[in-house]
Amino acid sequence: MSIDTAVVLAAGEGTRLRPLTRNRPKPMLPAANRPILEYVFDALVAADVRRIVVVVGYKRGRVQDHFGPTYDGVDLEYVTQHKQLGSGHALLQAREAVDGPALVVNGDRVIDANIVGDVVREFEASGEPSMAVLERPETSQYGAVVLHEGDVAELVEKPETDEYRLINAGVYAFESSVFDAIDATDRSDGELALTDTIGRLMDDGRVRGVRTEGMWVDATYPWDLLTVADEVLARGHVDEPARNGTGRSADVWVDPAANVHDAAVLQGPVVVGPDCEVGPGAVVGPNAALGQNVTVGANATVRSSVLDTDTRVESGSTLIDAVTGQDVTLGAGTVVPGGLADVRVGREVFRDQRLGAVVADRVTAEGDASFSPGTLVGPGAHIGTSVRASGRIAGGAEVVR
């Protein structure tokens, strides 16, 4: 029993990652210098999947325009979830596109091929619905799993105690009959959760829980993108070749199309994407990721930061613990000092998070602007000369001194 088809659930927004998801879905946010979804596709291709059905929804054009009809020689087929009504509902949209057993994978978490391969092997050996299970010290943000002799005995959504150690990794293998099981599942608050369907499958038979290891990183909140980048860089999961013969360490990856000045310093781990330019005297790294066409001006410092496509950091700036969106311009002498901060997401305040600032798409900051730790700047905002920005700044706002 072989699996050559996968369904990737990539329809959600990621509301807790605003303002970065105002213009694109969570799966298209950067994990180091590539979209999260690319790592998912890589893991599936490495597991010999030959066809991928992608369930898109929120800002679906950003996914389809980026990837097109194929990825690394594998056909991509897109189906749309027009309203985000739960993970089970999302999978149901792929019903007409799936004929036979399939992998089902969440598209908004960075995974590697080991996890996918372990699930495939269990499914092919047992013939039973199978799901990946990971050990984690903190389970409250995820679905906890209890196993008994390899079978899933219990699923606990966002447990309120610390007695659980296993989480649902969001990688599954099912027969096509799973669609009938979803149809028979009751909705909760108008949504259809895939975990509720798995509960039905547990009642009717067996669901195998595959304890696995491998790279699995999730960004729930904006500051998590810094942790995601740290993990990707630490494991060397980047697609740029390392520069050899330059006196730089092996954990420095620079795309051949990038231009790094001889007087610049790259401190690994660091990745510099295609068409980037790093000026003289600039210091980039450690734990820094530059996406495509990023410019770091002369004598600027970028450390522990993720700079997305078309970001421009002008001369003499200092960025620590910063996350930028696309097409961001930070003028000369901009300072993001980094450090711990209390950050408000929605109505909840998260204490002591490592976050210098989040600067969303198309933000412009004039010279000598500074950002207090924990600042969130919405898309299209304009920060004037010598402004000290702090707290939450709305998209499109004009902030002057």
283 and 191, same structural domain? no
Same domain, 150 and 25: yes
Question: In this structure, is residue 207 part of a structural domain?
Answer: yes
CATH number at residue 160: 3.90.550.10
> Are residues 350 and 273 both part of a single domain?
yes
In a domain, 395, yes or no: yes
Based on the domain organization, do 202 and 255 belong to the same domain?
no
Whether 225 is in a domain gets the answer: no
pLDDT of residue 140: 73
Indicate if 273 and 174 belong to the same structural domain: no
Under DSSP, is residue 31 helix (H, G, I), strand (E, B) or coil?
strand
311 occurs within a structural domain: yes
Question: Is 232 part of any domain?
Answer: no
Token pair for 40: 């998912």
224 falls within a domain: no
**Gyration radius (Cα) of the chain, Å:** 22
Q: Which neighbouring-strand residues pair with 313?
A: 296, 330
**What is the structure's pLDDT at 245?**
36
SS3 69: coil
The CATH number that applies at residue 392 is 2.160.10.10
331 in Cβ contact with 365 (< 8 Å) = yes
| Residue range of the domain that includes 56 | 5-218
Count of domains for the chain? 2
CA atoms within 13 A of residue 13's CA, in its CB half-sphere = 14
Strands 34-35 and 74-80: unpaired
pLDDT at 246: 43
Residue 226 in any domain: the answer is no
Same domain, 78 and 158: yes
Per-residue pLDDT of the chain (401 residues; tens, 9 = 90+): 478 899 999 999 989 999 999 999 999 999 998 999 999 999 999 988 999 999 999 999 999 999 999 999 999 999 999 988 999 999 999 999 999 999 999 999 999 899 999 999 999 998 899 999 998 877 677 778 888 888 888 888 877 677 788 888 899 999 999 999 998 888 888 888 888 898 888 888 888 988 988 889 888 999 999 999 999 998 876 765 555 434 456 689 999 999 999 999 999 999 999 999 999 999 999 999 999 999 999 999 999 999 999 999 999 999 999 999 999 999 999 999 999 999 988 888 999 999 999 999 999 999 899 999 999 999 999 999 999 999 999 999 999 88
- The answer on 267 and 385 residing in a single domain is yes
Report the alpha-carbon angle 182-49-13, nearest 5.
55
Evaluate whether residue 233 is within a structural domain: no
Contact, 257 vs 236, CB < 8 A? no
Q: Based on the domain organization, do 98 and 168 belong to the same domain? A: yes
What pLDDT, on a 0 to 100 scale, did the predictor assign at position 249?
A: 60
Nearest to 19 by CA among 300, 320, 376, 313: 376
And the tokens for 207?
């669901």
Which pLDDT value is given to residue 186?
Answer: 84
Output the CA–CA distances (angstroms, integers) from residue 353 to 230, 246, 252, 289, in the order listed.
15, 36, 27, 20
pLDDT at res. 239: 63
Q: Are residues 179 and 267 in the same domain?
A: no
d(CA 120, CA 314): 48
Do 134 and 23 have their domain in common?
yes
Q: Quick one: 183 and 249 in the same domain? A: no
In this structure, are 102 and 207 located in the same domain? yes
